[in-house]
């Protein structure tokens, strides 16, 4: 869809751009959004973390702008060779937009990895809870316990077996950071600039 929106010869391109950008500034609210996800079967479904972000307008704009930065000579050369839009998209555009696709994928992955809200609202199964949602539940549990049982807290502290919210936060910071540190080196090469250098020779 981002490829279609990047083409200047698309008749309704301007109208669609305005319509999609409008939805970024004026949302329908969380209740209608929840009902839509429920109607399409994404509530209590692992895909609720993925599909809504795949069709994100913001991500579409990022990919569209990247495609627009590609030289027009690529398309003209392909059309001279007899390629249609489908061939151009799969044979030329897709290989060249891997950097932005990996960038968007990394953005979405980090956002969902650090988010507890989607898991808290759209899933009730404990098997579908994200790490941040579990940490959120633990922090609430220990905050409540420490506020309501001062005597027990003092006893635990004396015995050196107390688990405080601060210790959970520090441990969760380490746990939540490690996967990102392991994944980033694998996709770092896609961030290298100059992917188009020498792609077209005038």
Q: What is the CA radius of gyration of the chain?
A: 24
pLDDT confidence of residue 153: 55
Q: Are 116 and 133 in contact (CB under 8 A)?
A: yes
Q: Are 61 and 95 in contact (CB under 8 A)?
A: no
**pLDDT at position 197 over 60:** no
Spell out the domain ranges in the chain.
2-191
Phi, psi of 38, deg, nearest 5: -70, -40
| Signed CA dihedral, 80, 81, 86, 88: sign only | negative
pLDDT confidence of residue 159: 53
pLDDT confidence of residue 66: 84
CA 16 to chain centre: 23
**Mean of pLDDT values over 46-64:** 83
CA–CA gap between residue 118 and residue 33 (Å, rounded): 12
Q: Are 180 and 110 in contact (CB under 8 A)?
A: yes
Question: pLDDT above 70 covers what percent of the chain?
Answer: 78
**Residue 198 pLDDT grade (very low, low, confident, very high; cuts 50, 70, 90):** very low
If you write DSSP's letter for every residue of 139-167 in order, what string do you get? HHHHHHHHHH-HHHHHHHHHHT----HHH
**Could you say which DSSP state residue 165 is in?**
H
- How do residues 103-152 score in pLDDT, each as one tens digit? 888 888 888 887 778 888 888 887 888 877 877 777 777 665 555 555 55
Average pLDDT over all residues of the chain: 75
Q: Are 115 and 53 in contact (CB under 8 A)?
A: no
- How do residues 158-181 score in pLDDT, each as one tens digit? 555 555 666 767 777 777 778 778
Length of the chain: 202
Per CATH, the homologous superfamily of domain 2-191 is: MetI-like (1.10.3720.10)
CA–CA gap between residue 178 and residue 52 (Å, rounded): 26
Note the pTM of the prediction, 2 decimals: 0.68
């Amino acid at each position: 869809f981002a490829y279609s929106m990047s083409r200047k010869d698309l008749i309704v391109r301007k109208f669609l751009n305005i319509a999609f950008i409008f939805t970024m500034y004026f949302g329908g609210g969380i209740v209608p959004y929840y009902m839509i996800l429920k109607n399409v079967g994404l509530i209590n479904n692992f895909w609720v973390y993925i599909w809504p972000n795949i069709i994100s307008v913001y991500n579409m704009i990022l990919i569209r702008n990247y495609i627009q930065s590609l030289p027009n000579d690529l398309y003209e050369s392909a059309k001279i060779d007899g390629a249609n839009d489908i061939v151009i998209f799969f044979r030329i555009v897709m290989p060249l937009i891997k950097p932005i696709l990996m960038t968007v994928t990394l953005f979405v992955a980090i956002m969902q990895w650090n988010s507890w809200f989607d898991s808290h609202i759209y899933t009730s199964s404990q098997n579908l809870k994200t790490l941040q949602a579990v940490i959120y539940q633990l922090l609430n549990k220990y905050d409540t316990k420490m506020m309501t049982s001062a005597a027990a807290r003092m006893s635990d502290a004396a015995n050196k077996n107390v688990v405080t919210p601060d210790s959970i936060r520090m441990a969760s910071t380490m746990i939540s950071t490690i996967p990102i540190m392991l994944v980033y080196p694998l996709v770092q090469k896609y961030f290298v600039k100059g992917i188009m250098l020498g792609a077209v020779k005038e």
